[in-house]
Structure 1
């Protein structure tokens, strides 16, 4: 029997009467962290409050496939074609520094160009770009902006906790579960804490070998989905620098990425998993992995990375000037759920503050050429 996909309606999301108040508190803390990061971060620059350290910006192309089933040919995926793209690979930590201190959570932020239709960002409706900001795990460790109030504090101050050895780690874990003493025992954040532990066990690998998921659910036209950007199996098999030993040098992820892209092209599949059961595939609980036996991921586009040289310092500077947000999308792809809604204004205010402190123009590029020159000739691109 064919799967019955859950239709998108506004009532798939829960209302939170305190959302705006909690969100403003998070924004205020984010601004303070970014302002203090100029001196505290060790780089002399303001950094992002998450995914602070980037490993490079990469030129690519997204090919939206033809002949997709109608349930998947929704929104931007309803129109086959090829679009230029930029990709930022990053570490998930809010801190910069040696890779060994930052953990193995990584991100892939994708910017697709020449997309028609207004974005959901009121201050740049005609940007013509479409972003994903994905992480290398199918779950996340925070469900609501209310819980993000204490989780944000913990992560921004994580180095202080863990520098104290086991006592500091125990205090970090206890304050995570109890919400720093703000939660009643029956409401302790066990699901989110267990999700955090699962994410902390992600093995270190070349960033080209990870799959990257939308942190929560998103609208997919008439349906509800999660989107995954997964390595093309043939390309993944050809990667030479696979396992990463973060203790072997201060910088390990970026050199491995640089070397692979200098030697060969690469490709990812952009895949959509449609919701078939709101109980087992919830919108508001990001700690739950959606079972693939209920709904498999279906490839709707291919992301191709030609061979290219991203080794220069100028690559990092161009990457730093870019802004990515899951809300720079058309309405047919709106992020869903409490914590995804919070990301809209937090990301916007974070970007505004960072660009101001770094004296960088905050302007969305109109083409990939404005940021990076075209990569090697198209004969070097990956087929598929």
Structure 2
């Protein structure tokens, strides 16, 4: 075992004694929002409570590279090979509507097929699929399920805050830092608020030009890691529609994605950053960016996207019916930390309710061929 990398042990996570109680409250709020979204979001259907608006469902292929150093050739990356894949590009907001209303936070959800071994989802262990649900930033704005209780409210109510102009913005900021008045002053959420401000200043670019990180840490076999999808440099250089003027039209991200993939293929590098210092690369504090000078990202696979037509409305319908969760993985890649652990049941319950309300069959595909030509 390499001496520079921190080995995974169960004690790298710190248990929160109020976790289960707070989680049930989060699930209740999430389910209420999803049920109400059928009318409130104006789409006539229930939407996700995050990443509600998708920009396209895309066919891909993951090539796991050979010749990797042993500490990176872990879990699903231990054996070279090619796997079919599906990709969902999305906006990070819990709301639907015009792009100008939603901001610059975006996501790349990846579903890889034909992966051996049971998943960590007890109700669907044998799907042979493996998911990532990544965001276009190396940090996140919430560290505990307790804080997520008020942060979730803030984001669901954000349009009402910002509709008031500067006074509403100031009230949003105050309520964020103070936990809507619930936090003692020494416990104000400054780190999370500063992470939110950083995320709010992300450049508005074509979704193909962003890098996408796991929101928190994950197991990487014997080690602890974060995983990033970084644009292949040659592919990124070829992109024509680069900066997005979100005020120019109600829809800007999807048309740019449709046009680019209709003209040329694309590729991302799937990269792993192994933890070398639990103080400076913490598991429980997702507001901290892991320094690359302590541990660089190493490419372990290529995500190749062929040239394709995703312009049809049926593409959006098929995308909407899919489910992605960071817990549809094998045990060697388990999400780590309390916030990542909360996502397991929140995502599952959210998906079950959304599919029920939309009268959609909730079933994992066995290949991209089931959905895309």
TM-score, normalised to structure 1's length? Answer: 0.96
2:313 counterpart of 1:295: no
User: 1:368: how far off?
Assistant: 1.1
Show CA shifts across 1:54-108 (max 9, x none).
Answer: 0000000000000000000000000110000000000000000000010000000
Matched position secondary structure for 1:55: strand
Partner of 2:240: 240
5 Å matches for 1:249-328?
249-328=249-328
Taking the aligned partners of 1:371 and 1:130, their CA distance within structure 2 comes to 17
Query: Runs of 4+ in structure 1 displaced over 4 angstroms?
Result: none
1:101 aligns to what? 101
Tell me by how many angstroms 1:164 deviates.
Answer: 0.6
Distance 1:259 1:3, change over 3 A: farther
Contact map agreement 1:26 1:346 (CA 8 A) in 2: yes
Aligned to 1:257, the other structure's residue is in SS state: helix
User: What residue in structure 1 maps to residue 163 of structure 2?
Assistant: 163
Query: Residues of 2 paired with 1:371 and 1:279: CA distance?
Result: 44
Q: What is residue 76 of structure 1 aligned with on the other side?
A: 76
Distance 1:273 1:223 in 2: 10
Tell me the CA shift for residue 130 of structure 1: 0.2
Give the equivalent residue in structure 1 for 2:57. Answer: 57
Shift of 1:141: 0.2
Tell me which residue corresponds to 1:36: 36
Report the Cα offset of residue 367 of structure 1.
1.2
The structural deviation recorded for 1:363 is 0.5
**What SS is found at the alignment partner of 2:229?**
strand
Shift of 1:3: 6.5
Q: Tell whether 2:230 aligns with 1:204.
A: no
What runs of 5+ residues in structure 1 fail to find an aligned partner? Answer: 374-384
2:195 corresponds in structure 1 to 195
Distance 2:118 2:323 in 1: 17
Whether the 8 Å contact between 1:3 and 1:295 is mirrored in structure 2 is no
SS of residue matched to 1:348: helix
> Who is 1:182 aligned against?
182
SS of match in other structure, 1:299: strand
In the aligned structure 1, how far is the partner of 2:51 from the partner of 2:68? 33
Q: Distance in 2 between matches of 1:274 and 1:206?
A: 28
SS in 1 for 2:241: coil
Aligned-partner Cα distance in 2 for 1:344–1:145: 12
Contact 1:217/1:337, CA 8 A, preserved across alignment: yes
- Return the alpha-carbon distance in structure 2 between the equivalents of residues 323 and 366 of structure 1: 13
1:371, distance to aligned residue in structure 2 (A)? 1.2
The corresponding residue for 1:223 is 223
* 1: CA distance, partners of 2:288 / 2:18: 24
> 2: distance between equivalents of 1:348 and 1:79?
29
Q: Secondary structure at the match of 2:160?
A: helix
- Cα deviation, 1:94-149, whole Å, max 9, x if unaligned, reads 00000001000000000000000000000000010000000000000001111000
For 1:263-315, what per-residue CA distance to the aligned partner results, in whole angstroms no more than 9, with x for missing partners? Answer: 00000000000000000000000000000000000000000000000000000
Cα distance in 2 for partners of 1:364, 1:147 equals: 32
What's the C-alpha RMSD, in Å, of the aligned pairs? Answer: 0.6
5+ residue gaps, structure 2, are: none
CA distance in 1, matches of 2:192, 2:363: 36
TM-score (norm 2): 0.99
1:366 offset after TM fit, Å? 1.2
CA distance in 1, matches of 2:348, 2:172: 29
CA distance in structure 1 between the partners assigned to 2:16 and 2:215 by the alignment? 20
Q: Partner of 1:111: helix, strand, or coil? A: strand
CA contact (8 A) 1:3 1:276 kept: no
> Once the 2 structures are TM-superposed, how far is the Cα of residue 339 of structure 1 from its aligned partner?
0.3
Aligned residue for 2:234, secondary structure, equals: helix
Distance 1:245 1:168 in 2: 24
